Amino acid sequence: MINDNFDIENFPIIESLQTNFTDVISLLGEDVDREGLIKTPERASKAMKFLTSGYEIDPAAILKGAMFKEDYKEMVIVKDIEFYSLCEHHMLPFFGKAHIAYIPNGHIVGLSKLPRVVDVFARRLQVQERLTDQVLNCISDTLKPLGVAIVIEASHMCMMMRGVQKQNSATTTSGFRGAFKEMKTRNEFLKLIASSLS
């Protein structure tokens, strides 16, 4: 959760979204008064507002609220961060895992804040390439570490449910800043996220 107190009922946009979802259902040829669909516009509106709630949150503020002075200067990795997003081209889900590493430069950050930053950017209409850059740049600009790296692996329903309908395809994007531009450091990160330490 981005915010445990997130209350979808507080958004006045819900009523307008309901009207539009009702129109969409009707245009598709369905009976909006059918028992199973009576509350669908309301449910869909609340779901859509939640799934795009990242617009309401400042991801840099999340990091700034949990930065601590520390002399540690080795790699910190948080891997297998699950995320769910909506493709901006078809508004269909894409989902997967993000792997993030940074090398502190005087400050560390609470480990739970990195997944929260991923969630903030994922809960917007997105493309995977932009999501990768936004998370990378936010961490780099806010923490100002010696280096930052990110790899995102995702499956896209727009490729699986429609279009080419390839069920087993996956998309990988990556980004590297600072020390991770060096091949040795980058390879260490890639090796660690590929391995199981259990």
Instruction: Read off the pLDDT of residues 173-196 as tens digits, 9 standing for 90 and up.
Output: 999 999 999 999 999 999 999 986
Topology, domain 62-194: GTP Cyclohydrolase I, domain 2 (3.30.1130)
pLDDT at 118: 98
Q: What is the pTM of this model?
A: 0.90
Answer yes or no: 107 catalytic. no
Active-site residue identified among 42, 56, 153, 158: 158
Reported as type and span, the H/E element at residue 152 is strand 147-156
Q: What single-letter DSSP state applies at residue 123?
A: S
pLDDT at 90: 94
Structure confidence by residue, pLDDT tens digits, 124-177: 999 999 999 999 999 999 999 999 999 999 999 988 887 776 777 899 999 999
Structure confidence by residue, pLDDT tens digits, 75-127: 999 999 999 999 999 999 999 999 999 999 999 999 999 999 999 999 999 99
Q: How far is CA 193 from CA 31, 36, 114, 124, 151, in A?
A: 49, 44, 16, 26, 9
Answer whether residue 4 shows pLDDT above 50: no
Other beta carbons less than 10 A from residue 110's beta carbon: 13
Active-site residue identified among 15, 30, 88, 129: 88
Answer yes or no: 89 catalytic. yes
Alpha-carbon span 179 to 185, nearest angstrom: 7
∠ Cα 175 83 192 (to 5°): 50
181: left (phi over 0), alpha (psi -120 to 50) or beta: alpha
Domain ranges of the chain: 8-51, 62-194
Topology, domain 8-51: GTP Cyclohydrolase I; Chain A, domain 1 (1.10.286)
